[in-house]
Structure 1
Amino acid sequence: MTERELFDSFNKDVYRTCYYMLRNAQDAEDLCHDVFVTVFRQDWRNVEHLHAWIMRIVMNQCLNILKRNKSKHEKQDQVRWLHKQTTDSVKSLDAIVLEKETTEEWEELLKQLPEKLMTVVTLRYIGELSINEIADILKIPVGTVKSRNHKALKMMRKKLEHNQTFWLKGEKQYGTH
């Protein structure tokens, strides 16, 4: 495999993960470039699990940037959550997560998660990685990945239910329902 073939094979996954972790297109492009520079400077042809290895580099660099910018990215107002979604409570959370992948709501849900939980959810649902791959990338036990994923989904469900309740109360109060 040539460097160009490697880039073409993994560029979309790398960019998508960078974008969802950093939530900024320019930063994601810059970091995507940096990741491939790092990969090409290494002995990547002898890496057994190339995808997992590249994703570990991506996550490490994303986490480094997030830590550096943490003071800039203080928790934003959670009041933006006046949104419809009355039918979502009937669906499974996995279905909701997949539907919201490209929506503002999905991004808002991710922003509200603690960094460790956001990392696992991003790799699982955006990067479409298995629990074992995530454990390998983050160098944590499989049980920890499962626990973080479960906790993140539980927090997201709670937020969705809270927002739906708030929205429905507003409709009843103003007679729009």
Structure 2
Amino acid sequence: MEAIIKKRIKQVLKGDQNAFSEIVELYKDRVYQLCYRMLGNSHEAEDMAQEAFLRAYINIRSFHIQMKFSTWLYRIATNLCIDRIRKKKPDYFLDAEVAGTEGLDLYSQIASESSNPEEELESMELRKTIQEEILKLPEKYRSAIVLKYIEELSLKEISEILDLPVGTVKTRIHRGREALRKQLGHL
């Protein structure tokens, strides 16, 4: 896939806007999910994902073709989300309900493999609780936890995205995990 992306990037550099549309199609869901996990609000996640693609397009000439494109794009999206978190009121974004659904969140929209409604409800409540607790973490731990456990990226990729040494990334993941464990232990 990376070879296809690099080919599309070369086309974009030559002025082909359709090639960038193909890149957006390939990454839009993952970038949105990253932003949603960081912000906890679907509308803000959409805005930040769009902004990430816009900035990627505008700055495509600064992309080093030998790098992995997804790492570069995730760095843009993560930095935008961190900036957004820093500018917000602390509890403004904790409401991640889907409009018009009487309290249901996006997790409730995901098809379940379980046939037991009680199990589904418990699982949905657990995911919601974990997401709420992730949102309470300081942004430096939140970004490391989301990239590691939700996006399932390697320590090296996280290091590149956050522009931090691998050791610092490990520390932030460990401290974020410990903070989450304490937060969840109090529930």
Tell me if TM exceeds 0.5. Answer: yes
TM-score (norm 2): 0.67
Which residue in 1 is equivalent to 2:60? 43
> Residue 9 in 1 paired to residue 33 in 2?
no
Whole-Å Cα distance in 2 between the matches of residues 4 and 74 of structure 1?
A: 32
Q: By how many angstroms is 1:8 displaced?
A: 1.5
Provide the C-alpha distance between the structure 1 equivalents of 2:125 and 2:168, rounded to a whole number of angstroms: 23
Query: Given that residues 39 and 93 in structure 2 are in contact (C-alpha distance below 8 angstroms), is that contact kept between their aligned partners in structure 1?
Result: no
Q: Deviations over 1:110-165 (max 9, x none)?
A: 022111101100111222211111111111110111011111111222223332xx
Which residue is 2:77 aligned to? 58
TM-score norm. by structure 1 comes to 0.71
Q: Relative to 1, partners in 2 of residues 1:101 and 1:131: Cα closer, same or farther, differing over 3 Å?
A: farther
Q: Provide structure 1 residue ranges, at least 5 long, that are not aligned to the other structure.
A: 77-98, 164-177
Q: 1:46 to 1:5 in 2, by over 3 A?
A: farther
Shift of the 119–8 alpha-carbon distance from structure 1 to 2, 3 Å rule, reads same
Which residue pairs with 1:137 in the alignment?
A: 161
Change (3 A) 1:63 1:75: closer
> 135, 146, 149: which one pairs with 1:122?
146
> Match for 1:21: what amino acid?
M
Distance of aligned partners of 1:122 and 1:101 in 2 relative to their CA distance in 1, 3 Å threshold: farther
Matched, 1:109 2:133: yes
1:27 match: 44
In angstroms, what is the RMSD of aligned CA positions? 2.4
Instruction: Give the share of equivalent positions with the same residue, in percent.
Output: 32
1:33-74 Cα shifts (integer Å, max 9, x gaps): 1111111112267532100000000011111111111x3538
Aligned residues: 140
Larger relative contact order (CA 8 Å, sep ≥ 6): 1
Distance 2:181 2:139 in 1: 17
Query: Residue type matched to 1:18 in 2?
Result: C
Structure 2: segments with no counterpart, 5+ residues: 1-7, 9-18, 95-122
Contact persistence 2:41–2:93 (CA under 8 A): no
CA gap 1:105/1:33 in 2 versus in 1, 3 angstroms:
same
Q: Is the 8 A contact 1:100 1:106 kept in 2?
A: no
Q: Judging changes above 3 Å, is the alpha-carbon distance between structure 1 residues 72 and 110 closer, same or farther for their aligned structure 2 residues?
A: closer
Cα pair distance change 1:53/1:101, threshold 3 Å: farther
